[in-house]
Amino acid sequence: MKHFQLPFEKQEGFSYAHADIEALSEYDKYLLSFHPERPRYLDYLTLFEKQEECLRSDRFGSCTIQVHRAELTLNGTTHRVMLIGQQSSPTSDFARLQEIMKNPEEIARWNHGMPTPAAFQKAIEAIALAEAEKRTIITIIDTAGADPTEASEAGGIAWKIGRCMQSLAEASVPTLSVIINRGCSGGAIALSGCDGILAMEYATYMVISPEACSSILFHTRQKAALAAELSRITAHEGLELGIIDDLIPESEGPAHRFPDGALRSFRSGVLRWLEKLSALSLDEVFSSRMERWKRIGRWEYMAEEEIKTFEKPVRNLPDAPEKNRFVPRHKGCRDSEGRAIVDPVLFSTLRRDNFRCDTCLHRYLRLTAHDYIALVLDEGSFREHPQTRHIIDSDILAFPNYPEKLREARQRSGTATAFITGDGRIEGQDVVFCASNFSFLGGSFSMSTGEKLRIAACIALERQCPLVIHATGGGARMHEGCSSMTSIPKIHVALSAVERAGLPLVTIISDPTLGGVAIGAGSRGEHIIEHNAGNIGFSGKRVIEQYTGLPTSKGFQTADWLREKGYASRIARPSEMKREISAIISRQPSNSKQ
């Protein structure tokens, strides 16, 4: 078969006119965005002069991100660039692709176009190389997402993605991102946190695939079309939401049918933005970046009177029983041989093990934001920031039942959002402290979290004191679509400003810290991982087991497993956190201002 056709392309009377494309369902537009014949990175590479491949590697999955030095010239002005391109398949020539994919080794090598830790490491090195050579960085986005396997978790994929975003946040040269096809999840956000984000007209940009979104929110993959419609994933909608800066028109029609026109349009759009970015002096790059990301996201404000209707301290950390030293074991406990265990548990043992069953690893409870405030800060020292207190989540997509879920979460957690920021003291040392609340929609990362953390970082800078963040949560909030995900680079820029000022940045990682939370604040500063914590990484255990069809290893994504893999140098019980943090911030004194 020479060409591939999507179902709607086979319908009688369908043309590739703009009106016909606009009339497609959101899900069909999603399918169009990764049509196998749409031009890939290597096709767009032909537009550049003096191409030179860099950092070539044979490590597994590294071909999914390719790096080239290149130049682009217009009217005598030459722009020296470093291209970091996601290549989601070996070719856009469908006939050739079919031949290549007959080879099992090639299928494995391309890994469905999903970048692995080796690929992200190549990107990190390319950013450093671009800085050394003073080249503008252009990232080309085309991915179904980051590799969801245990091998990639063992390779530190969460920290690699986080490091990509940190490197772009701190780059001393201008950065530009172009979404050419499908930009999905962590694979996309790793390299799209740039000074400008462009998208081909028929590209898509999303926090999660419609199928996965449907599975999580509606407990079936059969509502993927509804999930696509609700999530507003097209490039046009991204522009309306303010998460894409400019569209590159596919004026002649979709790029898989009119590739030459798409390539010409790409060149014009990229050159226009290179001219704009080249006007910045190197001294202006970071301050301009701070201003750009400050504008990302939407949130609302709640009056003090309404906050007081649900606000209360909610604590999960229990006191020791006064009489009986034992507590009932949880139901369903079984040992490694499948035998039911029913005997009660000594409370002191349970507390020592951080309320995790030592037989089956069941977690009895998770600490709240109020628990962490009480454990880490000097008694009575916490004062919530008035600048963040009234910020609440915004239902920008009119997502079904989201307002009701928010109201229920406020009543249950006693907080207005999943994130609290304030001033406090640790062993008498002034700090800015931020706490996540798992009991508020699983601590999922939202636009309001991004804005609150940005403001907290600014307060730490103003007061010249350490910033301490408690991270927990299951990822970016799907109810807010891609806008929640694009707030992750926003916090990287803010946290980089704190570290550039020489201020201590400490992150407490508790159970769970996955997805957008792990690649955001969870990847920054000096880490302290909670003793016996689990579910720490990028893709969760259930996602990986569903994708691979294989069980994960014993102890997967626990604190001890992370230490074994080299990603946990400091582990502490909740009761030890205060002492550990005090030791870190005392090594790096700050000049706190009252």
The contacts of residue 337 (CB under 8 Å, 6+ apart) are none
Cis before 512? omega within 30: yes
- Identify the residue whose tokens are 């029983």: 321
pLDDT computed for residue 143 by the predictor = 97
**How far is residue 189's CA from residue 164's CA, in Å, rounded to a whole number?**
9
The contacts of residue 30 (CB under 8 Å, 6+ apart) are 182, 204, 210, 228, 233, 234
**How far is residue 38's CA from residue 199's CA, in Å, rounded to a whole number?**
14
**How far is residue 544's CA from residue 263's CA, in Å, rounded to a whole number?**
37
pLDDT computed for residue 593 by the predictor = 60
Q: In the chain, what are the domains?
A: 32-205+235-292 (3.90.226.10), 331-365 (no CATH), 369-586 (3.90.226.10)
Kindly report the CA angle at 162 between 157 and 166, in degrees rounded to 5?
145
**Helix pair angle (487-500, 447-463), 10° resolution:** 10
| Amino acid in the structure at residue 334 | R
- Within 10 Å of residue 498's Cβ, how many Cβ atoms? 21
Measure Cα distances from 465 to 433, 470, 509 in Å.
Answer: 10, 16, 21
Considering only CA atoms, which of 539, 464, 556, 456 is closest in space to residue 501? 464
pLDDT computed for residue 591 by the predictor = 61
Measure Cα distances from 76 to 49, 73, 238, 535 in Å.
Answer: 13, 6, 34, 54
Considering only CA atoms, which of 32, 43, 38 is closest in space to residue 6? 32
pLDDT in tens, 156-191: 999 999 999 999 999 999 999 999 999 999 999 999
pLDDT computed for residue 590 by the predictor = 58
**How far is residue 393's CA from residue 299's CA, in Å, rounded to a whole number?**
5
127: helix, strand or coil: helix
pLDDT in tens, 350-387: 999 999 998 888 999 999 999 999 999 999 999 999 99
Considering only CA atoms, which of 141, 182, 225 is closest in space to residue 35? 182
Q: What are phi and psi of 191, to 5 degrees?
A: -125, 10
**How far is residue 487's CA from residue 169's CA, in Å, rounded to a whole number?**
13
CB 250 within 8 A of CB 266: no
112: helix, strand or coil: helix
Residues found in the chain:
594
pLDDT tens by residue, the chain, 594 residues: 688 999 999 998 899 999 999 999 999 999 999 999 999 999 999 999 999 999 999 999 999 999 999 999 988 999 999 999 999 999 999 999 999 999 999 999 999 999 999 999 999 999 999 999 999 999 999 999 999 999 999 999 999 999 999 999 999 999 999 999 999 999 999 999 999 999 999 999 999 999 998 988 888 888 999 999 999 999 999 999 999 999 999 999 999 999 999 999 999 999 999 999 999 998 899 999 999 999 999 999 999 999 999 999 999 999 888 877 888 899 999 998 899 999 999 999 999 999 999 888 899 999 999 999 999 999 999 999 999 999 999 999 999 999 999 999 999 999 999 999 999 999 999 999 999 999 999 999 999 999 999 999 999 999 999 999 999 998 899 999 999 999 999 999 999 999 999 999 999 999 999 999 999 999 999 999 999 999 999 999 999 999 999 999 989 999 999 999 999 999 999 999 999 999 999 987 656 565
Sign of CA dihedral 442, 444, 450, 453: positive
